[in-house]
Amino acid sequence: MKEVLILLYGGRSAEREVSVLSAESVMRAVDYSKHTVKTFFISHQGDFIKTQEFDEKPDEDEKLMTNSTVELSAKIKPSDIYEEGAVVFPVLHGPMGEDGSIQGFLEILKMPYIGPNITAASVTMDKIMTKHVLDTVGVPQVPYVAVIGQESIAEKIQEVEDNLVFPVFVKPANMGSSVGISKIDSVDQLEDGLREAFKYDNRVLVEQGVDAREIEVAVLGNLDVKATLAGEVVKDVAFYDYNSKYIDNKITMDIPAHVDEKVMKNLRHYAKLAYRTVNGSGLSRCDFFVTKEGDFYLNEINAIPGFTQFSMYPLLWENMGLPYADLIEELINLGKEAFEVRE
Ligand code: ATP
Ligand code: MG
Ligand code: MG
Ligand code: MG
């Protein structure tokens, strides 16, 4: 009997299109001698729709069904995804996917799933919470001002002027793919940047901008944690925004990153430390800033990083000798292991 792998994709967050690409990549790479794949699309409104089933590798022109191709009337109750013995891969990014909500739901259903548990997902989804938690174990991070709710904006602008130096980056606390983020060069633009970020969350942070290379480490494991050599996102844009990530393809990846040995060792050490501190499980991509002087800061932990065959996370593992299809198998096994510990 082949094991059933359930892919959940789409989702309610602003990152749903990225999720479709990641899920499509997974559906093509799964080892079909071991698994059948059943896919469920989650619409923008949060409806669950049963989409496709694959017993073998789909044709190149086969695409996952999305909003435009799916019968929205065919929606099911979310709990109808349940199937005894199946493993779920929530290939979802951003709020309502990467933040612990779907993970909690799957635990209630008593289903094994791939990726972060409830704590790891909820802590890492919130950039302010992540800073608090990682501060306690001495992970280097850039200075910031947290803005909780919109009433305190005037006061917070003053706090930014007093404590940070322009440019600064304004970000919704809970988001990804650079959605809602702006680079702010002077104080008179700050309020607009804050309003933009508040469209996505009522928790916003203003971060000290750093002139730095962006270098990332992939982490894999439950209690036994492994970290890859780091890779660099080489960009010739002011910042790595949504367009440069997914539309213009203006990014190249340098794997392994050309950094000195001591920096490399430190990045891998702090990636693992950060992962363990947030109770990481399954996988995460730990993103750092590295300055010319060799100073480094952890920018964020992505608990369900972009997962297409050409995304940084799988490429970092490929460089360590773990190809994409085997990485998926490893993640399935880690998901089952975490399930056994829970149940
Ligand atoms: P992801 O898609 O990786 O989940 P995200 O939406 O969580 O991204 P960040 O990684 O925090 O957002 O920021 C997006 C980009 O903005 C970074 O990759 C970097 O290019 C730029 N950036 C963010 N914060 C800073 C900073 N403090 N200094 C300099 N650049 C920054
Ligand atoms: Mg992120
Ligand atoms: Mg992300
Ligand atoms: Mg990022």
Range name among 78-87, 121-130, 188-197, 229-238 with the lowest pLDDT average? 229-238
Question: pLDDT class for 212, splitting at 50, 70, 90?
Answer: very high
The domain limits of the chain are 3-113, 124-140+211-342, 144-208
Could you tell me the fold of the domain covering 3-113?
A: Rossmann fold (3.40.50)
pLDDT of residue 177: 85
Confidence bin at 15 (pLDDT 50/70/90)? confident
Which atom from ligand 1 is nearest to the alpha carbon of 299?
Answer: 11
Question: Mean of the pLDDT values across residues 6-26?
Answer: 93
Q: Which two tokens stand for residue 279?
A: 């109770």
Distance from Cα 214 to the centre of ligand 4, integer Å: 9
CA of 306 to the centre of ligand 1 (A): 14
Average pLDDT over residues 24-40: 97
CA 237 vs CA 85, 98, 245: distances in Å: 46, 27, 11
Q: Which residues contact 198 (CB under 8 A, 6 or more apart)?
A: 150, 172, 204
What's phi and psi for 233, nearest 5 deg?
A: -90, 110
Contact 259, 290 (CB under 8 A): yes
What is the reported pLDDT for 7? Answer: 98
The fold adopted by the segment(s) 144-208 is Dna Ligase; domain 1 (3.30.1490)
Residue 18 alpha carbon, nearest atom of ligand 1? 2
Cα–Cα dist 73/201, whole Å = 30
Contact (Cβ atoms closer than 8 angstroms) between residue 114 and residue 22: no
Are the CB atoms for 29 and 45 separated by under 8 Å? no
Beta carbons within 8 Å of 3's beta carbon, 6+ residues apart: 34, 35, 36, 85, 86, 87, 332
Per-residue pLDDT tens over the stretch 160-178? 999 999 999 999 999 888 8
pLDDT score recorded for residue 246: 76
Ligand 3 centroid to Cα of residue 289, in Å, is 16
CB-based pocket (< 6 A), ligand 1:
142, 169, 171, 175-178, 181, 207-210, 214, 239-240, 287, 299-300, 302
CA of 94 to the centre of ligand 3 (A): 6
**Amino acid at the residue 253:** M
The answer on pLDDT for 251 being more than 90 is no
Residue 205 pLDDT exceeds 80: yes
- Mean pLDDT score across all residues of the chain: 95
Check: CB of residue 304 under 8 Å from CB of residue 92: yes
CB-count burial class (<10 Å; 0-12, 13-18, 19+) for 247: exposed
Residue nearest to atom 2 of ligand 1 (CA): 177
Range scoring the smallest mean pLDDT among 57-61, 65-69, 155-159? 65-69
Ligand 1 binding pocket mutation candidate from 165, 171, 290 (most atoms within 8 A of CB): 171
Q: Pull the structure tokens for residue 248.
A: 């213009």
Specify the higher pLDDT residue, 248 or 275. Answer: 275
pLDDT digits (tens, 9 = 90+) for 129-143: 999 999 999 999 999
Q: What CATH number does domain 124-140+211-342 carry, 3.10.560.10, 3.30.470.20, 3.40.50.880, 3.30.200.210? A: 3.30.470.20
Tell me, in angstroms, the distance from the centre of ligand 1 to residue 49's CA: 33
Task: Read off the pLDDT of residues 104-157 as tens digits, 9 standing for 90 and up.
Answer: 999 999 999 999 999 999 999 999 999 999 999 999 999 999 999 998 899 999
Ligand nearest to the CA of 301: 2
Which of 233, 229, 241, 222 has the alpha carbon at shortest distance from 310?
233
Whether the complex's predicted ipTM is more than 0.95 is answered with yes
Whether residue 71 has pLDDT greater than 90 = no
Give CA–CA dist 203/180, Å, rounded.
12
Q: Peptide bond before 256: cis, by omega within 30 degrees of 0? A: yes
76: which 2 tokens?
């099911």
pLDDT at 249 over 80: no
The proportion of the chain whose per-residue pLDDT surpasses 90, expressed as a percent, equals 87
